[in-house]
Chains A and B, each alone.
Chain A
Amino acid sequence: DADVTQTPRNRITKTGKRIMLECSQTKGHDRMYWYRQDPGLGLRLIYYSFDVKDINKGEISDGYSVSRQAQAKFSLSLESAIPNQTALYFCATSVGTIYNEQFFGPGTRLTVL
Chain B
Amino acid sequence: GENVEQHPSTLSVQEGDSAVIKCTYSDSASNYFPWYKQELGKGPQLIIDIRSNVGEKKDQRIAVTLNKTAKHFSLHITETQPEDSAVYFCAASATHNAGGTSYGKLTFGQGTILTVHP
Separation of A45 and B46 alpha carbons in the complex (Å): 17
Q: Assess whether B45 is in contact with A42, with CB atoms less than 8 Å apart.
A: no
Q: Assess whether B1 is in contact with A59, with CB atoms less than 8 Å apart.
A: yes
Q: How large is the interface on B (under 10, 10 to 19, 20 to 34, 35 or more residues)?
A: 20 to 34
Separation of A92 and B89 alpha carbons in the complex (Å): 15
Q: Assess whether B43 is in contact with A90, with CB atoms less than 8 Å apart.
A: yes
In the complex, chain A residues whose CB is within 8 Å of the CB of B44: 43, 90, 104
Q: Assess whether A99 is in contact with B49, with CB atoms less than 8 Å apart.
A: yes
Chain A contact residue count (CB 8 A cutoff): 25
In the complex, chain A residues whose CB is within 8 Å of the CB of B9: 40
**A48 sits at the interface (CB 8 A):** yes
Q: Assess whether B104 is in contact with A50, with CB atoms less than 8 Å apart.
A: yes
A3 → B minimal CB distance (Å): 11
Partner of A40, one of B49, B96, B110: B110
Separation of A31 and B96 alpha carbons in the complex (Å): 16
Separation of A99 and B32 alpha carbons in the complex (Å): 7
B38 → A minimal CB distance (Å): 8
In the complex, chain B residues whose CB is within 8 Å of the CB of A43: 44, 89, 108, 111
- Which parts of B1-38 form the interface with A (CB within 8 Å)? 1, 6, 9, 32, 34
Partner of B45, one of A35, A98, A104, A107: A104
**A73 sits at the interface (CB 8 A):** no
Q: Assess whether A100 is in contact with B42, with CB atoms less than 8 Å apart.
A: no
Separation of A44 and B108 alpha carbons in the complex (Å): 7
Question: Which residues of A does B touch, CB under 8 Å?
Answer: 4, 31, 33, 35, 40-45, 48, 50, 58-59, 90, 92, 98-102, 104-107
27 inter-chain pairs at a CB distance below 8 angstroms, sorted by A residue, are A4-B43, A35-B108, A42-B109, A42-B111, A43-B44, A43-B111, A44-B108, A45-B106, A45-B107, A48-B105, A58-B105, A98-B95, A99-B32, A99-B49, A99-B51, A99-B95, A100-B93, A100-B95, A100-B104, A100-B106, A101-B34, A101-B46, A101-B49, A104-B43, A106-B42, A106-B43, A107-B42
For the complex of A and B, the 4 pairs showing the least CB-CB separation, nearest first, are A104-B43, A43-B108, A42-B110, A42-B108
